Structure 1
């Protein structure tokens, strides 16, 4: 079935399509209102070098390499598990800027307090990661890389992506189901009508055949063949009746006939 036929079927069954679309709209609106918005918090830090020089090599290499390495650690499964243990949101993203010492944090949570707390916990994890790895390499604390918080975690806006996403999904699915139901109903109605027309046509054919059979049978009976003479004798359907004549007229006709004929 092509698009044009589907469109015509939907237009013919508008009394089914429109109520289903209205029900879909109501369901999408209700479901969207039941979803709470998410709150997004952002933060920015910068890695800084140590204050004293040292001959001990840093395990991270340079500051840019340390920035990329710490970003990988915070985005790992182990770090997210630690966030879960603290009861915070795992919907965060750590993005170290390429060829730079700047790192960006983005956190989403159901409430602003959780979003901010998760951002603070991620910054603490950066400090802990830097200290643990450099201390294990015996880098003096005065020579270790540190961090400088350029923008502390703060909620910027409420995000309604989840609400819009749910409404869009319900709307698309509901509209598709409404269209399918309308087209199927149109096909069923068309099938029933075609069957009725075929039955009526067969009944008319049977009636016509019966009438033709009766007509042919009457014609055969009217044209009977005499087996003795082999001549077809047409038997009239109605024998004309001779009109009645008075007895006096009959007698007078007999009296006026010739004598030889009377004898």
Structure 2
């Protein structure tokens, strides 16, 4: 069966195809209705260098690499378990992601959460925490003047929010749709084959008799065509035996257990069972 035969059968059984597809669509909608939306928020921040860099102490951010060192320091600090635990204690999302891009000198923070407000507050708090950590680190090295400290500043007023996303919903619907299409075509082809088989059986089927008919019946194997030359069970009956005619007539043999009785006109004779019949009178 090639593709064109399948297409023709599907068109012929269109009602089966559409019914199964409709069931598949309903199943996909019901199954994926429980997928919860997810909201993403992201924020970029820059490392702001101080206007005055004179007399920087040893071990300060300025002497350790400046902006690049400050960005890498906060990337490692915000990615640590201690920072995530602190975010979690605030009721925010500890699953945020933080990365420092050396080429752009940008500290990026992003997170996905069940509500847009929770996602927004999480990224804003991570950026604020990074700034507090950087200020505390510089204070520990002896740089306490605000004008001499590096700081973390967000690139925009607030976080960038993305529209609601439904993770996995599209993939589930596609899988259910493909299965529904395959099932619809398969059922249409199966129904078409079943109907065709029933029609062939109704058109050409014949019943087989359970038992042989009685001797003398037109369907009986003991009913033989007249053959005066070769059939021992058929003997001619001349017109002299039967008043009013000269045309030969023939009688059918009646068989019992032991003998074969042949009625020929007005004469009745008996003889042994012919070799081509068994004791019940059936052909061997």
TM-score by length of 1: 0.61
CA distance in 1, matches of 2:235, 2:80: 109
Considering only aligned residues, what root-mean-square deviation do their CA atoms show, in Å? 4.5
Residues matched between the structures, number: 230
* Shift in alpha-carbon separation, 1:81–1:238, aligned structure 2, 3 A: farther
CA distance in 2, matches of 1:233, 1:15: 63
Structure 2 unaligned blocks of 5 or more: 213-218, 246-284
Does structure 2 conserve the Cα–Cα contact (< 8 Å) formed by 1:130 and 1:146?
Answer: yes
CA distance in 1, matches of 2:81, 2:3: 48
Does structure 2 conserve the Cα–Cα contact (< 8 Å) formed by 1:24 and 1:171?
Answer: no
CA distance in 2, matches of 1:31, 1:244: 93
Aligned residue number for residue 124 of structure 1: 128
1:19 is paired with a residue of what secondary structure?
helix
Does structure 2 conserve the Cα–Cα contact (< 8 Å) formed by 1:96 and 1:104?
Answer: yes
CA distance in 2, matches of 1:74, 1:6: 60
CA distance in 2, matches of 1:187, 1:63: 70
* Shift in alpha-carbon separation, 1:113–1:177, aligned structure 2, 3 A: same
CA distance in 1, matches of 2:83, 2:5: 56
**Structure 1 residue 54 corresponds to structure 2 residue 56:** yes
Aligned residue number for residue 239 of structure 2: 241
CA distance in 2, matches of 1:92, 1:239: 115
Aligned residue number for residue 19 of structure 1: 19
Structure 1 unaligned blocks of 5 or more: 225-230, 246-263
CA positional deviation for 1:177: 3.1
Does structure 1 conserve the Cα–Cα contact (< 8 Å) formed by 2:97 and 2:110?
Answer: yes
CA positional deviation for 1:43: 2.8
* Shift in alpha-carbon separation, 1:49–1:199, aligned structure 2, 3 A: same
Aligned residue number for residue 249 of structure 1: none
TM-score by length of 2: 0.57
CA distance in 2, matches of 1:79, 1:32: 35
